[in-house]
Amino acid sequence: MTPLIALPPSPLRLRIDAAALAHNWAALNALSAPARAGAAVKADGYGLGTAHVVPVLARAGCRDWFVAHWGEAGAVLAHVPAAAIAVLHGPLTDADVAYARATGLRPVLNSLRQIARWIDGGGGVCHVMVDTGINRLGLALADLGDPLLARLDIDVCMSHLASADHDIAQNALQLARFTAVRGTVAARRYSLANSAGIALGPAWHGDLTRPGIALYGGVVRPELAGVVRQVGYPETAVLQVRDVAAGESIGYNATFVAPRAMRVGVVALGYADGYLRCWSNRGLLRWGDVRLPVLGRVSMDLTAVDVSQAPDVGEGDWLTVEYALPQAAAQSGLSQYELLTLLNRRFARAAG
């Protein structure tokens, strides 16, 4: 029998700055005061890894957690109490209700049908989402007079801002509607503000804010610049270094032709890892303080970079991808949310 041996390390790693993550939660919590900040940790902690971000945020003081799917809750449940975890999509089936009641997870009820399903399944403490203008999930304002709501034990009554990252009239409209909701729906706590909503000011904060992208380094309003720190640092190993003569092309379809003799590094990074083709001839990696431009087209598993100015770079060395979210979004055309959640499981994640 062939003996089992350890899997070799990945040539991709996503370094998570735990101190920056803790700082971001503390800063957003302070901006939320007297409300408290929770944490949206859906989509595997916005791509950084639930197992890595939840313990850091819990140690920083976070006590309220938000996931999208029931299947995401288990990874969070390994670190924090079930009653602190809200499942935003609510109970779509009786099996969801049974799971919530067995585990103690808190469903977010988004419709009268979900409310009836929750009550019929035995009920218990829950959260309720009310739509105040995003026209996504949530009870319609016209539903709030339904007698079913009076049968609920609601911890958090929440809504979601559609355009808090921009200064438009919709923000005030949603606030006014949510203020009216607070007078109609009885709950222990009320929550409206996401990351950008925190920056709008105390009127939007309620009792609990729900930051997501800003926890992980996203700057979604100017007020958060200089407050939020970069958390995720993608790194990739050099697979090969080669010399390319002037006039030779690099990569698929010859989109880059060397204007001079160049030293080129080929790294284990491509669009299958979430480093999309929009970075072709545009992205930057780093070797210390030396910037290494991407050359040619990003392919599925490989990207070429100019290492002419980094003569010490060799096979097996690690390069850092420039990935500060606001700047990377402006450069790539991707949103800050996409930049994080695109990074796939070939990246070994580690908090430190």
**Residues paired with residue 123 on neighbouring β-strands, in sequence order:** none
Catalytic residue among 46, 233, 252, 275: 252
- Degrees, nearest 5: CA angle 269-284-332: 85
DSSP structural state of residue 168: -
How many residues are given for the chain? 352
Q: What are phi and psi of 171, to 5 degrees?
A: -65, -45
pLDDT at 3 over 90: no
Residue 103 carries which side chain, given as an amino acid letter? T
Cis upstream peptide for 34 (omega within 30°): yes
Nearest Cα to Cα of residue 26 among 9, 42, 39, 45: 39
112-144 pLDDT, tens per residue?
999 999 999 999 999 999 999 999 999 999 999
Buried-state track 49-85, b at ≥16 Cβ within 10 A, e below 16: bbebbbebbbebebebbbbbebebbebbbebbeeebb
CA dihedral 252, 257, 262, 266 (to 10 degrees): -10
Between strands 153-158 and 189-191, the pairing is parallel
Q: What is the DSSP string of 306-320?
A: E-TT-TT--TT-EEE
* pLDDT tier at 4, thresholds 50, 70, 90: confident
Please give the pLDDT value at position 350. 84
In whole angstroms, give the CA distance from residue 248 to residue 142: 66
Domains in the chain, CATH or no CATH each: 18-216 (3.20.20.10), 232-351 (2.40.37.10)
Q: Is 233 a catalytic residue?
A: no
Give yes or no: 42 in active site: yes
Closest CA to 62 of 52, 54, 70: 54
Give the residues across from 105 on adjacent strands: none
* CA distances for 288 relative to 20, 62, 246, 285, 307, angstroms: 20, 34, 27, 10, 12
- Of these residues, 42, 190, 233, 323, which one is catalytic? 42
56-101 pLDDT, tens digit per residue, is 999 999 999 999 999 999 999 999 999 999 999 999 999 999 999 9
Mean pLDDT score across all residues of the chain: 97
Contact 52, 20 (CB under 8 A): no
Global confidence as pTM: 0.95
What is the CA angle 51-154-206, rounded to 5? 75
pLDDT tens, 196-228? Answer: 999 999 999 999 999 999 999 999 999 999 999
pLDDT band at 352 (very low <50, low <70, confident <90, very high): confident
Query: Is 332 in contact with 278 (CB distance < 8 Å)?
Result: yes
CB 61 within 8 A of CB 25: yes
Cβ(107)–Cβ(130) below 8 Å: no
pLDDT tens figures, 12-45: 999 999 999 999 999 999 999 999 999 999 999 9
What does residue 108 show for φ and ψ, rounded to 5 degrees?
A: -100, 115
**Predicted pLDDT of residue 2:** 66
Spatial CA neighbour of 266 closest among 218, 228, 313: 313
Instruction: Give the three-class secondary structure for 190.
Output: strand
